[in-house]
Each structure stands twice: as structure tokens, then as C-alpha cells.
Amino acid sequence: MNNETNVKIVTADPSALGLFGLSIVTLVASSLKLGWTSGTAFVIPWAFFLGAFAQLFACINDAKKNNTFGTTAFGGYAFFWFAVAMSWMIQNGVFGEKMAATVDGKQLGFAFLGYLIFSVVMTIGSMETHKVLFTIFVLIDLLFVGLTLSSFGIATHFAHNLAAYSEFAISMCGFYGFAAAVLNTHFGKVFLPVGKPFGIFKK
């Protein structure tokens, strides 16, 4: 006789840490775009550890919870920040002046365009999560519109400002989303409302 035992492993919701990482890195990066700070030397560590590793941690743990949406979203943006951090390192000559001299910003433009497509898909998915997350994704869409246009030299002043203010707004909304994820769970009630799903694609 075959006796099978199913073991359910319960893990905490990793989205709070993922949103916190996103909030910190976009706050630091937007300070550069808005002209409040200068240079990328001190943005790179935050891109690696908060933008990339914190969201990668959330991705891995969402995968354990069988959450395809969270896994894809946090994983996609984690690897985005790994790539951005390394791009800044190349620009700063970390890998040699010869490599820095061959930089073509339009290649980043194509990467940003790809991430714009990715973000639009994730925005559709976020509609059935909650409205705070949906707002964050809409702002991410606007950020990638600005980054893409700016990289291709199209309406550069407008595109730069769009990217800068969108990124700062992502940070502010992300802090609210992170706080809601922590405190609502911790108190076992709706301490900070996040808004119900739209209910268009899922009833």
C-alpha cells in the first residue's frame, strides 16, 4: 500500500520587501534625473542591492508560492536593475576606457522599448491585483516611455522630465504599497487600503 503525504510549506508574502527595494532604488535614481544629485557612483550599489537583489529575493519566494505574476514582475525588474547597474559601470570606465568609448545609447533605447512592452503586459495583469499596484505599473510604463524616447533622442527635454517625475512617483507609491503589505498583514486588517481589483478579466 502506497501512503503519500503532502507537505505544505508556508512562506511569508515577499512583495513587501520587493516593493521596498523598488521604492528605494527609484528614489535614489530619480534624485539623479531630477538634478538633486549628480553622478552614478553612489546609485550603483542601491541598484544592485535594492533594485536587483531585493526584487530577486521576492521573485524567488513568489515562485515558491506558485505566484507566476509576482515571480515574473519582480524577476523581470530585478534583472533590469542588474543590467542598468552594469551599464553605468561600463559608462564610468570600470571595465576599461576602450569599452566605455564604444557605448551606443540607442542600444539602451531598444532595451527600454522591450521593457516598455513587458511593463504594459504586467500592467494588464496588475489590474486584477489591486489599484495601488496598478498605479505603480502605469507609472513604470510612463518611465519607460520617457527612457525610450530620451535614448533615441526624441523630444529629449520632455522625455527626460517624464522619466524623472514618473520614477519619483513610482518611489512614493511603492513606499505606500510596501507599508500596506507589511501593516495590513501584521495587524490582520485593512490598515492602509490598496483598492480592490478592477474585476474586468477575473470575477
Taking the domains of the chain in order of start, what are their residue ranges? 15-187
The DSSP call for residue 9 is: P
- Give the CA radius of gyration of the chain: 19
Total-model pTM = 0.93
Tens of pLDDT, residues 91-106: 999 999 999 999 999 9
**Looking at residue 164, what is its pLDDT?**
98
**Looking at residue 202, what is its pLDDT?**
81
Percent of the chain past pLDDT 70, that is, above it, reads 97
Name the average pLDDT for the chain. Answer: 95
Percent of the chain past pLDDT 90, that is, above it, reads 93
Band of pLDDT at residue 1, cut at 50, 70 and 90: low
Nearest to 57 by CA among 27, 21, 10, 9: 21
Tens of pLDDT, residues 38-69: 999 999 999 999 999 999 999 999 999 999 99
Please say whether the beta carbons of 162 and 145 come within 8 A.
Answer: yes
